[in-house]
Amino acid sequence: MKHPRRLIAGVAALLLAGSAGAAAASWSGDEGDAPGSTAAAVEATPPASELTEAQKKSRQHEVDILLAHRATAVLKGDLKGFLAVVDPKQPALVARQRLLFTNLRKFGFSSLKYFTADSWDVPPLAEKYGPTTYTTRVMMRYQLAGLDPKPVQTDLGYTFVRRANLWVLVEDGAIDETLSNDGHRQPWDFGEVTVVRRGKVVVVVDKTEAALGQKIARVSEGAVDAVRRHWPRPWNGAVLVVAMSEPRVMATLWTAGNGQGWTIAAKAVTLHEGEQVGQESGPVIGSRIVVNPSMRKTLEEDLLVHEMTHVATVPIGAKTPIWLVEGVAEYVRAHSIEDDPEWTVDPYRKTVRTKYLPTLQKLPGPNQFDDDADRAYALSWWVVEYLVGASPYHCRREWVDDVSPAGVRRGARGGFRCGRRGRRSRGDWSIRGRRSSSGEPSSGHGSSPGG
Ligand SMILES: [Zn+2]
């Protein structure tokens, strides 16, 4: 009798020949096996629950090869190849997978890989599909052309069974609830989309809302220009804006009912290198902007300016205090509004001066943003205005020395401009920051920002 591992490899070779055309299976060395011996091997293979570690590894390897072919099928536009593994007895699943392929083709991947991660025991699925049921988390590692400087990663959950010597995909969402919240519900995972490209901006909307997509792309381009005017560090302006009617796309915030304020009208979802199941296991690579579905049709440019500032300031680093992150976004937003001589944020200034500033005791942290977001955003903005508008002496000494963790020190060096509005010049920020002894940011100063 042959070694089980070799037998399973034989199954994989057959399966590839059957489902993916000219699939290479050089890893197994078993392509030449007679069909008869392979069939016997399938019968001899124990159910999933009794697999040895080596057999599990083989199974994973086989499915990895299938997944690799699916990725190639997406890149090459090969619908037949993509669907080859999908259970033909399930028309709804086939339709979903066909739609997935249609959507994926619209995004323009410069690279795409699928591969298995950890397997999951899901007893109801095993009961439904039999002893060979194999549920696994699948990583999707991809790079959108013109958008992602490096590959980013998301995960999905697939269930396979072995049927007539082939692995067949029978479920595509059975473990969705256990996967990463923000990560795995991607814009291509729901209804058919329209992808609008304008310059470096890419906007995703529902297929039926192409006109809205064009409008948002125009507004987004204006927002990119505004960020570039007021954020002096280099940013290429490449950004993906998702403005779909589907609330589940990369979002848990607005389905959780956390309020209706403009602060959650959109958000920037950070992408980490090697992100898995909510673990931020790698450095930040970039962001997507996701617009609250209920506000997608009334989206204002200044809101996008705020969110795009988050995208542009990603290089500042993950350890930046929230008041600085949000304060800079508000700073850029406010200045972009006042680029138009007909607009002013004077009422905003007045609110800060009269309502919030008198009781300011310390810089807003996450709790303050949760408790009273309006106040926290407004004060953060004020502080950044202060930093930017104050003399270089103030820039260096009174604020930054007290509050900057390492990430800010590195990222913000030269990132702000010191000097008063109207006569702005690049500040010479040699920031040598340290935390105060309590570990908390120092308390606020009451000076008004320039202007
Ligand atoms: Zn923000």
207 Cα: distance to centroid of ligand 1 (angstroms): 28
Q: How far is the CA of 279 from the centre of ligand 1 (A)?
A: 21
What gap in Å lies between CA 306 and CA 328, rounded to an integer?
A: 8
pLDDT tens digit sequence for 213-239:
999 999 999 999 999 999 888 888 999
Residue 185 maps to a domain: no
pLDDT over 90 for what percent of the chain? 43
- The CA 309 to ligand 1 mean position distance, Å, reads 8
3-state helix, strand, coil in the chain (%, to 5): 45, 20, 35
| Boundary residue ending a domain (266, 296, 315) | 315
Q: How far is the CA of 188 from the centre of ligand 1 (A)?
A: 25
Domain boundary among 315, 338, 370: 315
Q: Which long-range contacts (CB under 8 A, 24 or more apart) does 145-150 make?
A: 145/108, 145/109, 145/110, 146/108, 146/110, 146/197, 146/200, 146/202, 146/238, 147/200, 147/202, 147/238, 147/239, 147/240, 147/286, 148/110, 148/271, 148/285, 148/286, 149/285, 149/286, 150/273, 150/285
What is the model's pLDDT at position 13?
31
Q: How far is the CA of 299 from the centre of ligand 1 (A)?
A: 15
User: Is the pLDDT at 153 greater than 50, yes or no?
Assistant: yes
Residues 171 and 160: their CA atoms lie apart, in Å, by 7
Does residue 124 register a pLDDT over 70? yes
pLDDT per residue as tens digits for the range 351-390:
999 999 999 989 999 899 888 888 999 999 999 998 887 6
Domain that holds residue 224: 195-315
Distance 329 CA to ligand 1 centre (A): 6
Please indicate whether residue 224 or residue 183 has the higher confidence score (pLDDT).
224
C-alpha span between 346 and 344 (Å, rounded): 5
Q: What is the CATH number of the domain that holds 268?
A: 3.30.2010
- Residue 440 CA to ligand 1 centre (angstroms): 21
303 CA to centre of ligand 1 in angstroms: 9
Do 152 and 277 lie in one domain? The reply is: no
Q: How far apart are the CA of 241 and the centre of ligand 1, in A?
A: 15
For residue 195, name the pLDDT band (cuts at 50, 70, 90).
very high
What is the distance in A from the centroid of ligand 1 to the CA of 114? 32
Kindly provide the b/e burial profile for residues 219-237, where b requires at least 16 CB atoms within 10 angstroms of the residue's own CB.
bbbbbbbbbbebbeeebeb
Strand partners, 288: 240, 269
What CA–CA distance (Å, rounded) separates 416 from 431?
11
pLDDT at position 75:
98
- Where does 267-390 have alpha helices with state H? 301-312, 322-338, 346-351, 366-371, 373-389
For ligand 1, the distance from its centroid to the CA atom of residue 80, given in whole angstroms, is 43
Q: Is the pLDDT of residue 398 over 90?
A: no
Residues 224 and 148 in one domain: no
Please report which confidence band the pLDDT of residue 440 belongs to, taking 50, 70 and 90 as the band edges: very low
Tokens of 373: 């977001």
Q: How far is the CA of 423 from the centre of ligand 1 (A)?
A: 27
Spatial contact of 395 and 403, defined as CB atoms under 8 Å apart: no
Is residue 70 domain-resident? yes
38 and 140 housed in the same domain: yes
The pLDDT, as a whole number, for residue 316 is 76
- The verdict on 246 and 395 lying in the same domain is no
| Separation of CA 422 and ligand 1 centre (Å) | 26
The CA 266 to ligand 1 mean position distance, Å, reads 9
CA of 380 to the centre of ligand 1 (A): 11
The pTM assigned to this predicted structure is 0.73
pLDDT at 262 over 80: no
CA of 141 to the centre of ligand 1 (A): 27
Assess whether 342 and 448 both reside in one domain.
yes
Q: How far is CA 266 from CA 57, 212, 218, 271, in A?
A: 42, 16, 17, 16
DSSP for residue 168: E
Closest CA to 269 of 245, 253, 282: 253
For residue 308, the CA-to-ligand 1 centroid distance in Å is: 9
% pLDDT > 70, the chain: 69
DSSP, residue by residue, 215-261: HHHHHHHHHHHHHHHH--S-----EEEE--S-TTTT-STTTTT---S
Cβ 98 vs Cβ 80: under 8 Å? no
Residue 82 lies in a domain: yes
Give the pLDDT mean for 338-346.
Answer: 90
In a domain, 187, yes or no: no
Radius of gyration (Cα) for the chain, nearest Å?
A: 26
The two tokens of residue 27 are: 């890893």
> Nearest 5°: phi and psi at 187?
-60, -20
The structure tokens listed for 438 are 């309590």
Distance 363 CA to ligand 1 centre (A): 16
Identify the weakest region by mean pLDDT among 30-39, 192-201, 325-334: 30-39
The CA 96 to ligand 1 mean position distance, Å, reads 34
260 Cα to the center of ligand 1, angstroms: 15
Q: Is residue 427 located within the same domain as residue 299?
A: no
Tell whether 387 is covered by a domain.
yes
- Using the mean position of ligand 1's atoms as its centre, give its distance from the Cα of residue 163 in Å: 50
Given a cut of 60, is residue 128 above it in pLDDT?
yes
**Is 18 in the same domain as 134?**
yes
CA of 306 to the centre of ligand 1 (A): 6
Residue 225 domain-assigned (yes or no): yes
Sign, Cα dihedral of 378, 384, 387, 389: negative
Residue 215 and residue 109 in one domain: no
In a domain, 397, yes or no: yes
Same-domain status, 258 and 323? no
Q: Assign 184 a pLDDT band (cuts: 50, 70, 90).
A: low
CA 410 / ligand 1 centre spacing (Å): 21
Q: Measured in angstroms, how far is the CA atom of residue 107 from the centroid of ligand 1?
A: 26
Say if CB 405 and CB 435 are below 8 A apart.
yes
| Number of domains within the chain | 3
Same domain, 254 and 400: no
CA neighbours closer than 13 Å in the CB half-sphere of residue 176: 11
Judge whether residue 169 has pLDDT over 80.
Answer: yes
- The predicted-structure confidence for 26-74, as pLDDT tens digits, reads as follows 233 333 333 333 333 344 456 777 888 999 999 999 999 999 999 999 9
Strand 239-242 vs strand 266-272: parallel, antiparallel, or unpaired? unpaired
Residue finishing a domain among 315, 350, 373: 315
- Which among 419, 412, 415 is positioned nearest to 450, based on CA atoms? 419
What distance in angstroms lies between residue 312's CA and the mean position of ligand 1's atoms? 12
Around Cβ 255, how many Cβ atoms within 10 Å? 10
Based on the domain organization, do 223 and 171 belong to the same domain? no
C-alpha 381 chain-centroid distance: 26
Distance 326 CA to ligand 1 centre (A): 5
Looking at the domain assignment, is residue 109 inside a domain? yes
C-alpha 320 – ligand 1 centre gap (Å): 13
Look up the CATH number of the domain holding residue 60.
3.10.450.50
CA of 311 to the centre of ligand 1 (A): 10
For the ranges 44-58, 142-156, 183-197, 364-378, which has the lowest average pLDDT? Answer: 44-58
CA 361 – CA 323 distance, rounded (Å): 13
Q: Which amino acid is at 73?
A: A
The CA 330 to ligand 1 mean position distance, Å, reads 8
Shared domain for 156 and 255, answered yes or no, is: no
Name the most confidently modeled range: 125-129, 194-198, 427-431.
194-198
Centre of ligand 1 from the C-alpha of residue 315, in Å: 15
> Ligand 1 centre and the CA of 377: distance in Å?
8
More confident residue, 421 or 360: 360
Q: What is the pLDDT of residue 7?
A: 31
Distance, CA 310 to ligand 1 centroid (Å)?
7
Ligand 1 centroid distance, CA of 325 (Å): 7
